[in-house]
Amino acid sequence: MNEPLAERLRPKKLSDYLSQQHLIGKNGALTQQLKQGMIPSLILWGPPGVGKTTLANIIATESNRPFYTLSAINSGVKDIRDVIDRAKKGEGLFTTKNPILFIDEIHRFSKSQQDSLLGAVEKGWVTLIGATTENPSFEVISALLSRCQVYVLKAFEKDDLIALLHRAIKEDSEIKKKNITLTETEALLRLSGGDARKLLNIFELLVNSVEESIEITNELVLEKVQQNTVLYDKTGEQHYDIVSAFIKSIRGSDPNGAVYWLARMIEGGEDVKFIARRLLIAASEDIGNANPTALIMANNTFQAVTTIGFPESRIILSQCAIYLATSPKSNASYAAINAAQGIVKETGNLSVPLPIRNAPTKLMKDLGYGDNYKYAHNYENNFAEEEFLPEEIKNTMFYKPGKNQREDAQREFLKKRWKNKYDY
């Protein structure tokens, strides 16, 4: 049988779909919408092999709608318009209203291609389902994003992946022909990196390597897979491992490691914008106010490589990676927002103190909005001690400057200002 195992095991109905209970569980967002038959246009965002395409197919089946798919890799504006025209006329596949148009890797569509979808989505000629491994905030135009719900699909849990292997052994007609003993799974899980498709590809490779029976152990998996490097690709585990090594090299102030892993990504055909975005994140998360120019440098790099593209972009990326690696480091801003969000989740919607509320109307002024607010510029050194946090969490210190030249100066500034309030 030429059809891959991952395709043979693809779930056909929601009850067979593993994981993503936050979406398709009893109280999942999509479960309720499917029951009501009200499916909005949506973007499915998640890592490779978590079931984005499968979920789109199931949605179409369970809502009894026509289903058409385009790949952003080989489809253009003409293909999109052809689908939309047929949807409007109810021709061929589109014999009922509001078919589902599934676009795989929608992040690869250009702005003009995405623009061509707007009218059809807004008027309801099609229900768009886009799948992407990249953050839609960066890769989907705002006009289209505002017309879609974004649902995040999570990587499979260990138990889900093991259950998938047992399902293959028990249910697949080809696998059942052989005597399979699943003794160890650690190597299979590690090499799959949470990608169900990759897991089943490796599993099928192992099963097909024998005539009748096989005992699957960690040692056997590593031995067989090392002989088949084709299983690795830039969208799988290695993609995430290498970018992780790249960022950790920058964080660890090693420009040599940073440039090496950058070269690995470039030679592997990685998307230039993917690399540049990671530099932007590192500039703020790992350097922050220790060297604020790092964020400017990373942003300029992103703009430059987006305009220029490969091969010349490699030089700009190298310059930026080396600059970030050799910059002083601080994660104080990153830690501060994490701490603040933690308090928000714990305490909920606390009231804004009256003195710092906006008072655009007479009623609000009568209610005390803005009373006793101290306008900083009316005081010496443009500073007046004021309470800016809700009463329940007053004096909570989220930002703790790092130990570097720039943030040392910030610490001294804050000490002078807030000597009676915060312990800087």
pLDDT in tens, 173-206: 888 788 888 888 888 888 777 788 888 888 888 8
Task: Single out the residue in 121, 136, 152 at which a domain terminates.
Answer: 152
| Judgement on whether residues 71 and 133 belong to the same structural domain of the protein | yes
Q: Do 162 and 250 have their domain in common?
A: no
pLDDT at residue 93, as a whole number: 45
| Orientation angle between helical segments 196-208 and 158-171, nearest 10 degrees | 40
Q: Could you tell me the CATH number of the domain that includes residue 365?
A: 1.10.3710
Residue 423 has pLDDT above 50, yes or no: yes
On the question of pLDDT at 287 being above 60, the answer is yes
Q: Are residues 251 and 289 in the same domain?
A: yes
Final residue of a domain: which of 325, 360, 387? Answer: 325
Residue 15 lies in a domain: no
Confidence at residue 364, expressed as pLDDT on a 0 to 100 scale = 67
The answer to whether residue 4 is domain-embedded is no
The answer on pLDDT for 155 being more than 90 is no
Mean pLDDT within 262-285: 90
| Same domain for 131 and 91 | yes
147 shares a domain with 34 = yes
Domain ends where: 209, 231, 253? 231
Q: Is the model more confident about 148 or about 89?
A: 148
Q: How many CB atoms lie under 10 A from the CB of residue 40?
A: 13
Containing domain of residue 365, as a range? 352-417
What is the C-alpha separation between 409 and 424, in angstroms, rounded?
Answer: 11
The torsion angle over the Cα atoms of residues 122, 124, 130 and 134, rounded to 10 degrees, is 20
What does the pLDDT average to over 392-405?
85
The pLDDT > 90 percentage for the chain reads: 14
> Do residues 162 and 146 share a domain?
no
Task: Give the model's pLDDT for residue 16.
Answer: 78
The mean predicted confidence, pLDDT, of the chain is: 82
Specify the pLDDT at position 238: 63
Indicate if the pLDDT at residue 72 is higher than 70.
Answer: yes
Tens-digit pLDDT profile for residues 339-364: 998 888 888 778 777 777 777 677 76
Of 253-267, 287-301, 366-380, least confident by mean pLDDT is 366-380
Q: Which of 119-123, 134-138, 296-300, 419-423 has the lowest mean pLDDT?
A: 419-423
Domain assignment present for 144: yes
Same domain, residue pair 114 and 219: no
Are 145 and 207 contained in the same domain? no
CA–CA gap between residue 99 and residue 70 (Å, rounded):
13
Q: Which of 25-29, 125-129, 131-135, 283-287 has the highest mean pLDDT?
A: 283-287
Residues 42 and 144 in one domain: yes
Residues 137, 56 share a domain: yes
The residues facing 45 across adjacent strands are 132, 152
Q: Work out the pLDDT band at 147, boundaries 50, 70, 90.
A: confident
Mean pLDDT of 83-112: 74
The verdict on residue 13 lying in a domain is: no
Whether the Cβ atoms of residue 23 and residue 153 lie closer than 8 Å to each other: yes
Phi and psi torsions of 36, nearest 5°: -85, -10
> Is 344 inside any structural domain?
no
What pLDDT shows up at residue 92? 43
Report the number of distinct structural domains present in the chain. Answer: 4
Q: Domain with 134 in it: what CATH number?
A: 3.40.50.300
Asked whether residue 308 carries a pLDDT value surpassing 80, the answer given is yes
Which amino acid is located at 371 in the chain?
Answer: D
pLDDT of residue 90: 62
Domain of residue 173, CATH code: 1.10.8.60
Read off the CATH number of the domain in which 250 is found: 1.20.272.10
Take residue 22 and report the two structure tokens written for it: 């936050």
Q: Which of 31-40, 47-56, 276-285 has the lowest mean pLDDT?
A: 31-40
Nearest to 130 by CA among 149, 116, 143: 149
* Residue 53 in domain: yes
Residues 28 and 137 in one domain: yes
pLDDT score at 95 = 46
18: nearest Cα among 188, 200, 180, 173: 200
Q: Is 248 inside any structural domain?
A: yes
Q: Does position 233 have pLDDT exceeding 70, yes or no?
A: no
Is the pLDDT confidence value at 236 over 60?
Answer: no
Q: State pLDDT tens for residues 310-337.
A: 888 999 999 999 999 999 899 999 999 9
- 120 within domain boundaries: yes
Residue 59 and residue 148 in one domain: yes
Instruction: Look at residue 231 and tell me whether its pLDDT is greater than 50.
Output: no
- 58 pLDDT band, cuts 50/70/90, is confident
